[in-house]
């Protein structure tokens, strides 16, 4: 089950990385590189630490999305997209917490 989840995380990261390349005018090209490298690493390494790394990556993405959107709202004027990125950042925090909880459960089972 753990390997299946890690495979899913790896494949999702690679697909999201490719989407970042395709939509590089809207999405971050550099995050696309990070996602693809992480996805390949997850497919090869397949250890529980992948959950922790991916959860932390989601927190970093959330912080980036929320902070840049708040800067956009307060200094550059309001935009609907800024509010949507804040909502998406909140979802990223939720997903990060969920994945880190999975990591903790796996580590507790292996004791």
Q: What is the pLDDT of residues 13-24, one digit of tens each?
A: 999 999 999 998
Token output for 97: 């917490």
Predicted TM-score (pTM) of the model is 0.86
Q: Are 39 and 31 in contact (CB under 8 A)?
A: no
Q: What is the pLDDT of residues 58-94, one digit of tens each?
A: 999 999 999 999 998 888 877 788 889 999 999 999 9
**98, 63, 69, 92 alpha-carbon torsion, rounded to 10°:** -10
């Amino acid at each position: 089950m753990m390997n299946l989840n890690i495979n899913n995380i790896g494949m999702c990261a690679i697909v999201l990385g490719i989407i970042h390349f395709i939509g590089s005018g809207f999405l971050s090209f550099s995050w696309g590189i990070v996602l693809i490298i992480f996805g390949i690493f997850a497919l090869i390494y397949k250890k529980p630490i992948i959950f922790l790394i991916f959860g932390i990556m989601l927190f970093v993405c959330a912080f980036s999305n929320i902070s840049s959107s708040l800067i956009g709202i307060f200094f550059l004027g309001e935009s609907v997209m800024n509010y949507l990125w804040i909502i998406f950042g909140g979802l990223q925090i939720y997903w990060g917490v969920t994945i880190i909880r999975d990591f903790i459960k796996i580590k507790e089972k292996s004791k």
